[in-house]
Structure 1
Amino acid sequence: MFKRIIYLVILVFTTTVLAQSYTKHTVAKGETIVLIAQKYKVTPFDIYKLNPDAKNGVQPNMILLIPKNDTSNTKPIITSKNKGVIHEVLAGETAYSIAKKYGVTVEELHDWNPEIGNALPLGYKLMIQGVTKTSLKKPVVKEQQSQKDTDLYTVVEGDTKYSLAKKFGITIEELELQNPIIKEGLPLGTQLNISKKDNPNRITEELKPNSQSSDLFEYKVKSGDTLYSLTHLFNLSESALIALNPSLKEGVQEGMVLKVPANILLTKESKNKNKDLTKTLSTQSRKKLALFLPFNVSKIENDSLTSIGERLKKDKFLNLTLDFYSGALMAIDSAKVLGINVDVKVFDSEETKNTTNALNIIASENFTNVDAVIGPFYQVNVEKVATALENKNIPVISPLSKDEGRSVSNLYQSMPQNETIRKAMFEYMHAKNGSIIAVIDPKKGALKQYIHDNQKEVKIVGFSDKGFVSDSIKKYLVKDRMNYVILGSEKTGTVLAFVKALQIFMKDYKVQMVILEPNETLDFEEIDLNSLTKLKLMYPSTTRDNDTEEAQQFEIAYKKKNRIFPNQYAVRGFDVTFDTLLRMSQSSSLQESLEQDATEQVEGKFDYAKRISGGYTNNGIYILYYDEDLTIKQAQ
């Protein structure tokens, strides 16, 4: 580890110091960001990039950093042949709402105003080409032609009604309505009629941000929508959708506007699952990757009292960063062996939870030809970087944060979020046609509310003053079906009683123990490991135990180079960096690979899905269980 620190310090101190490319401006009374931008011949967005706090307003005597004007980044000249209008951005307006107003696309808006992002500064003046004031009218919405054609599908081994309904984007009821023959069962070889569904990408055209809440989007009901189809489309229970839209109690009407959660994911069913990208490399063109990692070297330089060795003992964040970096270096070496044609540049993001120097680096460095960015680490900071690079459409990959955060169109959350992890576990249990029971501690109010709102079919076992009663579980158990029993408590006494009760039930029922999140109580000596293996304890995880030859080779190579086996952050650094390098080296674009290809690396899975509100989330989850041979296996 010490050698790596020395290498890092040498690396950082021998790089060229970035030249400052900005001037300081003291805000005068009555000045606004727009006036200051006009004075220096830059855009308000340029000022906001260097001064994020200015988005909350400016005060007299406030010091602002003003970037030097770059004539290579100016707006296109508007000639008499390109008639247009100037639109001044009002409060609450977005690129989407303005494009809609003038009947143009967001892409065209960005083409005419290349310096903007989706977060438009108040008062900013946009050029709208090909439009005159007299020609303004309501945009015409083209009706989508309904397709009533059907496809044929032959039932194969492993298919269930749930999996088929999910695969084709319909409900089980709709599947049975189209194929009455399967109401009593799903025989192998049966040919099913499947109504063609709209492309999920079209859904984004039906949605727009809700002005009253950043957590909601609006969806306009189209012809053919039903309450069943809407609940499936948005992956919401009927009661949850009605709670957001009380008017649905009177029925679904074409043209009505519904509020839906902004974190809804649009999954492409045609995605290439677990694709080996090493077999489809395209190395003709040279690509560029930038890494923002929080070495915080200036902090080390300015601390003359603490040696590097002492800092390593105390600074956990520095250790985490160095471990991640060591894994990233392994990924870069592996890419070179494969002949991948990528230039990698590493920057010190100098970050805390709420601040980063990355924006200054972006302002002073030329990021025009950068193909992808990994980092910074903290969610707030990676969102700032994504926003700064959004107008260039450069993918920014968040390597570690699980926070949901803001929606930025070019931001890819590589760490699955907690909501996604829970959802994956329930989808697995449903796909197995299991009966689901949950024993939830009264203190786990959020978990109980989640199940109540989103998993209506789950039976929740109540607690008495003395805890839960095993008979409360037994009355919900079903013969001849797997009974998945969820433990939602960390109290040692409750856990012991829970495990003992399930072992008794195993004599007469099929029972499997499930947890939705890590539970430290299960690691205590009082909890017998053999009992957990007998119950085949099952849980969702963002990582897997990988004992393949490739994984072992990675560990050996890492230990040889670093004299220590890789920890979770080193493996994460390798996985995220190597996955990105492989995707950058395909015949398709990086964005296309991120959307279309699901991949697996040493420990992690990368299966990105688009969020309706913007950006992408990783759905790569493993369902694991304790086997009786004391190993952890993937559930099939």
Structure 2
Amino acid sequence: MKKRILFSILLTVFSFVLTVSAKQEKYIKHTVSKGETVTIIAQKYKVTPFDIYKLNPDSQNGIQLNSVLLIPSSTIVGATASVTQSKGNPPATHLVQPKETLYSISKQYNVTIEELKAANGDLLNNGLKTGQNIKIPASSGNATGVVSAPVPVKESIKETLKPIVKEEPRAASKGETTYHVIEPKETKYGVSKRYGMTIEELEQLNPQILNGFPVGMKLVVSGTGATAHAETPVVNGIKQKEITPTSSGKKYLQEYVVKPNETVSSIANDYGMSESELLELNPELKRGVKTGMILRVPIITKKEVPVPVKDQGQGNLIKKINTNARKQLALLFPFNISKIESDTVNTTQARLKKDKFLNLTLDFYSGALMAIDSARVLGLNIDIKILDSQETKNSSNVAGLAEQNNLAAMDAVVGPFYQSNAEKLADLLAVSKTPVISPLSKETGKKYPNLYQSMPSNDILRSTIFNYMRAKGGNILVVVDPKKGSIKQYIQEMQKGVRIVGLSEKGTFVADSLKALLQKDRLNYVVIASESTGMILATTTAMLNAQKDYQVQLAIMEPNETLDFEEIALSRLTKLKLLYPSVSRPNETLEASQFDAKYKKLNKILPNQYAIRGFDVTFDTLLRLSQDKPFEETVLSNPSDQIENKFDYVLNATGGYTNKGIYILYYDTDLTIKEAL
């Protein structure tokens, strides 16, 4: 399903400062100078004309030289600060400014686009044009305006870079059931996450998948359990839902997930009810309390838990937060706003349909906003500046940004995205020793002492999987495709003691060559380095045949798209428990579910890998900046696990820091992906 994004407003300068913990005044005073208009003043203070009209009703009839106007403060408190405009009488007309749209004007004046069109008759038949003087109708209350000056972080993704809903699985209405047909390579984890369910709920609705997950099977994915997860708001890990009252007449409106060590008595006490009432609502409790059970309980008013709600593996990063000193963080995202503004051939929607890199950027950005929101809730004392890096693989505005925004004075910078640009910025900031975190690139180039490579490289992926197999005392064999000469050289030079399986003269796999190297008293890891479907099928067939006499497990040392082809059955990979290194992990903890629920509430869709990466990189950086020791020390002494990514930095011999945070995962026989221990 393809993401559809449109730009409702394009900012002339996409740069603003966010203070996580600062306070603001309600308004400031401005004395009108010669030639100024309400629109000019609004642009000067980065507020809307309607904001000024609200505080100065007489200004709707014109402003006078030296008169004093009250201007709303432009400081935004917190990462998610937004102000809903109060209802009132908007000005009679509005002079259309460059870059304005019907959508942005409707938001300014708290009216709908339809009301604007109706009030202006034929004037808008040919679209909105700069310089038009359009009528503003009285608000019907159906539209909500958001103060946009300066653009708050959360509102900027809603208004400036607004994700529109993907075509998500439709929620079943009452009495209706929604189905999903299993497709090749799908797993229980993937399907359950797609529909906002846990694996256990999926299995409860479909007992036939307990011991298998065959392609083509029709699953129930919404109705009794899935609808609540897919569409019902989740607060504090609790799904809001109206349910039947008890005999005492109380009305219960939510479900609760049982946590470890809880009892019937403790849960009843927490929700102000008797044990008998709790048992009446949940007869299954008579058989005992189990962690993960979903119970019906009374609705209560609780403050929504931030993400993350507790230490998810951040080590001592959360426990030792120090907010005494204010820190500065810059985030550089390649929006390339100026190029989009000057594109006269493609509409924004058309550009986004084919610009995968821009979509990736927006996803990463949306996750970063979630991290900033969590920082606000935790009370971190950090000023955050978000800038458009205006970069491509071969060009960037890094030098200009560094000078214009004094990036050398920052305590850290996340970005740019392209490795060459990150290295260039690290070079520019080397004198000030400002940490530059490269967020996405796996490339390795020149090392700089202040460059932090947050994405593990392919070399680290390879070495990590071999180190794991050695630690398990395995007999490690490698089947190398003749076309993979560099891999063969890497094995021979860097992985001493690993044996390479011989091939035929024609370069094809020979089952007897593999069998001759297998050992009965050890687990035999067979690493395959080939993108040939034929070689993979031949190798895995030989391994399946050898299972009756030997312990064998299939492994790969880096991502291999050929394994996703339909010709290679998923059942083949699960029987051989495919083992592989990964920079991310499947996470089904309560905290991860809360993150998914909160993200979906904000963006109307579940987060993808880039959104989660955006959260993880940004939140890890924010926590490290908030310690009582320098950033450089935290990366060496405090590894952290975030939602799906691990950050475990090591100092390079030639300078700079590399993240070796890798997960070792495997396909289990129950068709789930698990972390190897």
TM-score by length of 1: 0.58
Over aligned residue pairs, what C-alpha RMSD do you find? Answer: 2.1
Q: Aligned-pair distance for 1:6?
A: 2.9
Q: Which residue of 1 aligns with 2:395?
A: 355
Residues 152-551 of structure 1: pairs in structure 2 closer than 5 A? 275-464=315-504, 465=506, 467-551=508-592
* Conservation of the 8 A alpha-carbon contact between 2:479 and 2:529: yes
Q: Give the distance between the partners of 2:317 and 2:411, measured in 1 at CA.
A: 18
Of 595, 613, 618, the match for 1:554? 595
Of 617, 634, 645, the match for 1:604? 645
* Conservation of the 8 A alpha-carbon contact between 1:323 and 1:567: yes
Question: What SS does the corresponding residue of 1:468 show, helix, strand or coil?
Answer: coil
Q: Who wins on radius of gyration, i.e. which is larger?
A: 2
Q: Aligned-pair distance for 1:305?
A: 3.2
Which amino acid letter does the alignment assign opposite residue 638 of structure 2? D
User: Unmatched 5+ residue regions in structure 2?
Assistant: 18-42, 45-312
Q: Give the distance between the partners of 1:493 and 1:462, measured in 2 at CA.
A: 16
* Conservation of the 8 A alpha-carbon contact between 1:289 and 1:370: yes
Q: Does 1:629 align with 2:631?
A: no
Which amino acid letter does the alignment assign opposite residue 606 of structure 1? F
* Conservation of the 8 A alpha-carbon contact between 1:482 and 1:512: yes
Which amino acid letter does the alignment assign opposite residue 307 of structure 1? T
* Conservation of the 8 A alpha-carbon contact between 2:15 and 2:387: no
* Conservation of the 8 A alpha-carbon contact between 1:538 and 1:624: yes
Are the structure 2 counterparts of residues 292 and 567 from structure 1 closer, same or farther at C-alpha, using a change threshold of 3 Å?
same
Which amino acid letter does the alignment assign opposite residue 329 of structure 2? L
Spell out, residue by residue over 1:216-250, the C-alpha distance to the aligned partner (whole angstroms, 9 max, x if none).
Answer: xxxxxxxxxxxxxxxxxxxxxxxxxxxxxxxxxxx
Are the structure 2 counterparts of residues 628 and 389 from structure 1 closer, same or farther at C-alpha, using a change threshold of 3 Å?
same
Q: Give the distance between the partners of 1:508 and 1:497, measured in 2 at CA.
A: 18
Are the structure 2 counterparts of residues 410 and 335 from structure 1 closer, same or farther at C-alpha, using a change threshold of 3 Å?
same
Q: Give the distance between the partners of 1:602 and 1:591, measured in 2 at CA.
A: 22
Q: Which residue of 1 aligns with 2:8?
A: 6
Q: Which residue of 1 aligns with 2:636?
A: 595
Q: Give the distance between the partners of 1:292 and 1:274, measured in 2 at CA.
A: 24
* Conservation of the 8 A alpha-carbon contact between 1:292 and 1:373: yes
Q: Give the distance between the partners of 2:13 and 2:542, measured in 1 at CA.
A: 59
Q: Aligned-pair distance for 1:8?
A: 6.3
User: Unmatched 5+ residue regions in structure 1?
Assistant: 18-272
* Conservation of the 8 A alpha-carbon contact between 2:6 and 2:349: no
Q: Give the distance between the partners of 1:3 and 1:623, measured in 2 at CA.
A: 34
Q: Give the distance between the partners of 2:517 and 2:643, measured in 1 at CA.
A: 40
Q: Give the distance between the partners of 2:329 and 2:367, measured in 1 at CA.
A: 16
Spell out, residue by residue over 1:132-188, the C-alpha distance to the aligned partner (whole angstroms, 9 max, x if none).
Answer: xxxxxxxxxxxxxxxxxxxxxxxxxxxxxxxxxxxxxxxxxxxxxxxxxxxxxxxxx
Question: What SS does the corresponding residue of 1:6 show, helix, strand or coil?
Answer: coil
Question: What SS does the corresponding residue of 1:403 show, helix, strand or coil?
Answer: coil
Q: Give the distance between the partners of 1:586 and 1:320, measured in 2 at CA.
A: 30
Q: Aligned-pair distance for 1:459?
A: 1.0
Which amino acid letter does the alignment assign opposite residue 285 of structure 1? A
* Conservation of the 8 A alpha-carbon contact between 1:583 and 1:593: yes
Q: Give the distance between the partners of 1:440 and 1:334, measured in 2 at CA.
A: 46
* Conservation of the 8 A alpha-carbon contact between 1:292 and 1:358: no
Seq. identity, %: 56
Q: Give the distance between the partners of 2:510 and 2:596, measured in 1 at CA.
A: 47
Q: Aligned-pair distance for 1:2?
A: 6.4
Q: Give the distance between the partners of 1:453 and 1:412, measured in 2 at CA.
A: 27
Count of matched residue pairs: 382
Question: What SS does the corresponding residue of 1:280 show, helix, strand or coil?
Answer: coil
TM-score by length of 2: 0.55
